[in-house]
Structure 1
Amino acid sequence: MASVIINKASTEDLETIQNVGRQTFHETFAESNSEEAMKIYLEESFSTEKIKSELNNPDSYFFIAWEEDIPVGYLKLNSGQAQTELQDDTSLEIERIYVKKSHHGQKVGQLLYDKALETAQSLKKGYLWLGVWEQNLRALNFYRKNGFEVFGNHTFRLGDDEQTDLMMKKTLVQ
């Protein structure tokens, strides 16, 4: 494997984020959800308008993992009012760490997580938090290994299916 570098994304990276987001979400969740629900979710969540709006939000941060000139994953962070739930000024949300299945086990997720941690520290945040599907054991193990603990849950809707996401957080030492 060639070395992976992490670069901050801009509006010029919109299509890359759309493509990586759709591919990785499909790879991870298609087996557990209906084809119709997946199609609608991917169209809505990765629409050009939605991603453009997110990229232009000053409280959201995107980073892309590149292996040479191939995007292999990305990270989306939210602070302030961009956070999906808590909207605590002392926190930073990891909304997405998405890695292509072809690169699972190659430390790309860890590199993206390290960038999230570095960003939280540079913004002087007190803690990181995220929501992760209770049945996504790979992700749960990854976050536990990195010091996250469950503090609650919320419902994530995919089509007509209500799924439970575990809310996890990691307190940062200042």
Structure 2
Amino acid sequence: MTIEIKKCTVANLATLKELSIETYTDTFKDFNTPEDLKDYLHNAYNTQILTAELTNPNSEFYFLYVDKELAGYLKINVSNAQSESLGPDFLEIQRIYIRVPFKRMGLGKILLELGIKRAKELQKKRVWLGVWENNFAAQKFYQYMGFKKFTSHKFVMGDSVQTDYILKKELE
């Protein structure tokens, strides 16, 4: 198995949009109404929003390929690009999205480790991420990787108000 990671740019916009919608839908379609999911996907992954994210100097996207096939991606944020204002010492890992055929191959760990590596390179002291309160597998994984819950926030998806736990990891 050959793993390759490439930084994503505006030239990759169409692929990023398609991958975002596919992976988000696969993960959350069974937990939300079709209407709420459709509205969320339209608002979160439209061309204008993704272009703004891709051109923000405080955000970075990385595509992960397995044997030259696109398997998933990572999005990280610092400074004012963070989805919560946690301060200059933090790097946010906002998205680790893996396509269904590539789950359970350790790819999420590779992307998480890339996010931590970038935090260290950017001289951040902490990494944080949000995880849905009912995503127990992800919570267990993040705990295994050294993240601890320190707060929570509301995540609105259409008519549904959900809770995301905010986890952080202190860096050495």
Code of the aligned partner of 1:12:
A
Kindly indicate whether residue 14 of structure 2 is the aligned counterpart of residue 29 of structure 1.
no
5+ residue gaps in structure 1?
Answer: none
Tell me the secondary structure at the aligned position of residue 58 of structure 1.
coil
Code of the aligned partner of 2:37:
M
- Asked whether the equivalents of residues 65 and 74 of structure 1 are also in contact (C-alpha less than 8 Å), the reply is yes
- Asked whether the equivalents of residues 130 and 169 of structure 1 are also in contact (C-alpha less than 8 Å), the reply is yes
For 2:55, the equivalent position in structure 1 comes to 56
Tell me the secondary structure at the aligned position of residue 111 of structure 1.
helix
For 1:5, the equivalent position in structure 2 comes to 4
5+ residue gaps in structure 2?
Answer: none
Q: CA deviation at 1:69?
A: 3.3
Q: Write the distance in 2 (CA, Å) between the matches of 1:69 and 1:43.
A: 29
Q: CA deviation at 1:67?
A: 1.9
For 1:67, the equivalent position in structure 2 comes to 66
Q: CA deviation at 1:163?
A: 0.3
For 1:138, the equivalent position in structure 2 comes to 137
Per-residue deviation, residues 34-73 of structure 1 (Å, max 9, x unmatched): 0011111111111011001100000001001112332111
TM-score, normalised to structure 1, is 0.96
Say which is worse superposed, 9-18 or 49-58, in terms of deviation: 9-18
Q: Write the distance in 2 (CA, Å) between the matches of 1:93 and 1:51.
A: 17
Q: Write the distance in 1 (CA, Å) between the matches of 2:90 and 2:107.
A: 23
- Asked whether the equivalents of residues 58 and 81 of structure 2 are also in contact (C-alpha less than 8 Å), the reply is yes
Q: Write the distance in 1 (CA, Å) between the matches of 2:12 and 2:149.
A: 33
How many residue pairs end up in the alignment? 172
Q: Write the distance in 2 (CA, Å) between the matches of 1:25 and 1:44.
A: 13
Return structure 1 stretches of 4+ with deviation > 4 angstroms.
none
Kindly indicate whether residue 40 of structure 2 is the aligned counterpart of residue 41 of structure 1.
yes
- Asked whether the equivalents of residues 72 and 99 of structure 1 are also in contact (C-alpha less than 8 Å), the reply is yes
Per-residue deviation, residues 55-93 of structure 1 (Å, max 9, x unmatched): 000000100111233211100000000011124111100
Say which is worse superposed, 52-61 or 96-105, in terms of deviation: 96-105
Q: CA deviation at 1:141?
A: 1.3
For 1:119, the equivalent position in structure 2 comes to 118
Code of the aligned partner of 1:74:
Y
Per-residue deviation, residues 8-55 of structure 1 (Å, max 9, x unmatched): 111111112111111111011000000011111111111011001100
- Asked whether the equivalents of residues 154 and 162 of structure 2 are also in contact (C-alpha less than 8 Å), the reply is yes
For 2:109, the equivalent position in structure 1 comes to 110
